[in-house]
Amino acid sequence: MPADAAPAAPPLRFPLDRPLLWLLLLALGHVAVRVAISPALKWDEAEQMLWSQHLAAGYGGQPPLYTWLQWAVNAIVGPSVLALSVLKHALLALTYVLMWGAARELLAVRGAWWAAASMMLMPALGWFSIRDQTHTVLVTAMSGGAWWLLLRLVRAPRPRDFALLGLVCALGLLSKYSFALVALAMLTAALSVGVARRALLAPGWWWAPVVGVLVVLPHALWLVGQWQGVAADTVSDMDIDAQRGWAQGLLELARSVGGTLAPWALLVLAVFGRAAWRGPTTPVAPWAQRVFVRYLALIALALLLMVLLGGVTAFKGRWVLPMVCMVPLAAFAARPQLQEHPRARRYTLAVTGIALALLVAGGVRPWFGSRQGTPDALASPIVALAAALRQAGYDGHSPIIASDHITGGTLRTRFPHAPVRACAVTDGMPVADCVAAAVQQAKAAGQGWLLIGCEENCEGSAGWWALASARLPALPSRAVELPYGMGRADASARYRFHWQAPAAPKPSS
């Protein structure tokens, strides 16, 4: 081979030559680990168990799509840890598949695998979504889908793909309201580039807005009547505080974006060295690079304005994840020669190793976490609690009124035929009113009811029972103290409950 000849591209081997098989095995591994480690639930999981008891146009301050999907999965496999895990990891797999599709519009197989799998190095997706996230996973999948369809449309505009783009953008809005910023920045950036603009205005373009509006309209009509409550929840999450100042907001923004992208960037530099950013290169699609750069500039501008004009002082990695998940795709498309670099396989092996390490860490983390400080929520003694309730006479069908989302949501997985309501101190409605309404509803239906509060070492307030029983007759209650699992026999959760059996039917005269 001549001295100046480029080195031969490394051959494709597993997992590159079987990406879907690899992804399926990884997803099944995560499902198996989650089901095996604990029957208890984390916060987002418990919330979904409560919300997915019925279909609604909206749920609290969140769009409804994830809960609709959870309702459908529950209908198939029952409300359970399995149902939660299957949906979560199916959507994570879909996220990688859609980003793979976007990357394949620009890159060869190796580069596409890198662009998709590199998202595992973003902590909000690769780690925290495994622990306990819902809507973030879905909106990130829709972000990947929108990029795939946009790049596909520029390559070959077709009415069918315009309709699909409108559908995906609508589903993105139904996943998380912040997707509006992703879609707006993406569209603005694409329309500012001649090649993309001509494609997006090709015959059939109108399918995108028509389909998008039709899909979003029912929820939008609901949102009009609920706007104040939804806006209040959103503002609360953003932590708008003028006293902290814009400097604190900029620092938090830098931490959030940097923390999201730094693990991936550091691995690229560690493997490829100066080749990752030096030397001649020709982007695979100059028009796409212009779209990527302008999109990121618009996102950066929007986030800066949120700090400087909106007073936002807190940012979380899961918020910025859908906005920047395409950065590995843009980077590898800008330097396609990395796909043929002599150390290309090292990068593949490194990402594969990290993915397997995350799988193992997801299984052992609750055990280590429970040994330090407060026991992990997954160590909650839910099986023993359910057994104690059955022993006390609870029939497994009557309504459950719980002190908090985790207790209520977890009990639903143990008693799937019982309607569950959480009357938490933080839910806005006074606890006494919430409990009284639930009890009255059960009585009107001729049902019994179970009132249960977590009093110690869990989310529920220690004073919840007094609030809950304030508008009820004097209730005899029972307390049960159960040791935590995962090696925390030295700690226990204390619950107080009252089981009111259904009233006996009056004899007919």
51 assigned to some structural domain: yes
Q: What is the pLDDT of residues 433-448, one digit of tens each?
A: 999 999 999 999 999 9
Same domain, 344 and 489: no
- Please say whether the beta carbons of 378 and 42 come within 8 A: yes
- 5 located within any domain: no
Residue 329 corresponds to which tokens in the numbers above? 């795709």
Q: What ranges make up the beta strands (E) of 143-267?
A: none
Q: How far is CA 179 from the centre of its chain?
A: 13
Asked whether residue 476 is domain-assigned, the answer is yes
With CA atoms as reference, report the closest residue to 197 among 167, 159, 154. 154
Q: Is there a contact between 66 and 138 (Cβ–Cβ < 8 Å)?
A: yes
Residue 507: predicted pLDDT = 59
* End position of a domain, from candidates 367, 400, 423: 367
Cβ proximity of 493 and 481 under 8 Å: yes
389-412 burial: b if 16+ Cβ within 10 Å, else e: beeeebbeebbbbbbbbbbbbbbb
**Domain that residue 446 falls in:** 380-500
446 φ/ψ sector (left φ>0, alpha ψ -120 to 50, else beta): left
Tell me whether residue 194 is exposed, middle or buried, using C-beta atoms within 10 angstroms of its C-beta: 0 to 12, 13 to 18, 19 or more: exposed
Domain for residue 1, yes or no?
A: no
Identify whether residues 162 and 303 lie together within a single domain. Answer: yes
Residues 460, 319: one domain? no
Quote the tokens at residue 273: 């060295």
Q: Are residues 362 and 387 both part of a single domain?
A: no
User: Do 267 and 121 contact (CB within 8 A), yes or no?
Assistant: yes
Q: How far is CA 81 from CA 41, 130, 404, 454, 485, in A?
A: 8, 13, 18, 21, 17
3-class DSSP state for residue 235?
helix
Q: Which residues contact residue 502 at a Cβ distance below 8 angstroms, ignoring those fewer than 6 apart?
A: 395, 398, 446, 447, 448
- 222 lies in some domain: yes
User: In sequence order, what DSSP letters do the residues of 14-58 get, joined into one string?
Assistant: TTTTSHHHHHHHHHHHHHHHHHHH-SS--HHHHHHHHHTTS--S-
Cα separations (Å) of 27 from 10, 85, 221, 358? Answer: 27, 9, 36, 12
Overall pTM surpassing 0.85 (yes/no): yes
Q: Are residues 484 and 343 in the same domain?
A: no
User: Strand locations in 315-426, DSSP E?
Assistant: 400-402, 420-422
Say if residue 54 is exposed, middle or buried (CB neighbours under 10 Å; 0-12, 13-18, 19+): exposed
The answer to whether residue 49 sits within a structural domain is: yes
Q: Per the domain annotation, does 10 fall within a domain?
A: no
Looking at the structure, tell me whether residues 331 and 384 fall in a common domain: no
Say yes or no: 396 and 270 in one domain: no
CB 125 within 8 A of CB 328: no
The answer to whether residue 3 is domain-embedded is: no
Whether residue 467 contacts residue 425, with contact meaning beta carbons closer than 8 Å, is answered with yes
- Count of domains observed in the chain: 2
Identify the three-state secondary structure at position 75. helix
Contact 355, 120 (CB under 8 A): yes
Which residues make beta-bridge pairs with 492? Answer: 483
Domain boundary among 338, 367, 396: 367
Domain edge (last residue) among 367, 391, 407: 367
Residues 337 and 445 in one domain: no
Provide the β-strand partners of residue 450. Answer: 400, 499
Helix axes 159-175, 65-77, angle to 10 degrees: 90
Whether residue 341 sits in one domain with residue 454:
no
> Rounded to a whole number, what is the largest CA-CA distance in the chain?
106
Which pLDDT score, from 0 to 100, does residue 1 have?
Answer: 39
Q: Are residues 389 and 316 part of one domain?
A: no
Q: Are residues 26 and 150 in the same domain?
A: yes
In order along its 509 residues, the chain shows pLDDT tens digits of 344 444 455 567 878 888 889 999 999 999 999 999 999 999 899 999 999 999 998 887 789 999 999 999 999 999 999 999 999 999 999 999 999 999 999 999 999 999 999 999 999 999 999 988 899 999 999 999 999 999 999 999 999 999 999 999 999 999 999 999 999 999 999 999 999 999 999 999 999 999 999 999 999 998 887 776 666 666 666 555 555 678 888 999 999 999 999 999 999 999 999 988 887 778 889 999 999 999 999 999 999 999 888 888 888 889 999 999 999 999 999 999 999 999 999 999 999 999 999 999 998 888 776 666 677 888 889 999 999 999 999 999 999 999 999 999 999 999 999 999 999 887 778 899 999 999 999 999 999 999 999 887 666 567 889 999 889 988 888 999 998 887 666 778 889 999 999 876 655 55
In a shared domain, residues 40 and 154: yes
Report the CATH number at residue 456.
Answer: 3.40.190
